[in-house]
Amino acid sequence: MAQKIYFRIGEVAKKYNVQPSLIRYWEKEFSFIKPKKSAKGTRLFTKKDVDNFEIVYHLMKEKGMTIQGTREYFKKHYDHQSLDNLQVINTLKRTKNLLKEVREVLRSSIE
């Protein structure tokens, strides 16, 4: 059960059921979505990048905010400490899910 370090734009798009063009657009609009690029220009998202994308996705797609509204929301409510805290929470959620999967594998191997 190796954990991935990088995710391609297609994987992120599939996870959130959006077009890759939306991800590229939000990358331009929000400076904290900064995927690395390979020598060929392929975007490689870290878990931190995906977490940051998830915040924007939640505000815009689930809460219905505009780009300007989302920017203002970030200026008012988020600082780097808040983003770091959210990333820690997301990491803990992923760890919890991984541990649940391990528990299920162990249970099924015992039976």
Note the pLDDT of residue 83: 63
Residue 56 has pLDDT above 80, yes or no: yes
Where residue 1 falls among pLDDT bands split at 50, 70, 90?
very low
Give me the amino acid identity at 71: R
Q: Determine the average pLDDT of the residues in 79-97.
A: 72
DSSP state of 31: T
Per-residue pLDDT at 25: 95
In the CATH hierarchy, which fold is given to the domain comprising 7-78?
Multidrug-efflux Transporter Regulator; Chain: A; Domain 2 (1.10.1660)
In the numeric block, which tokens belong to residue 78? 């988020």
d(CA 95, CA 76) in angstroms, rounded, equals 30
* CA nearest to 23, candidates 49, 59, 62: 49
Which sequence spans correspond to the domains of the chain?
A: 7-78
Q: Taking the model in full, what pTM does it have?
A: 0.67
Burial of 47 (0-12, 13-18, 19+ CB in 10 A): middle
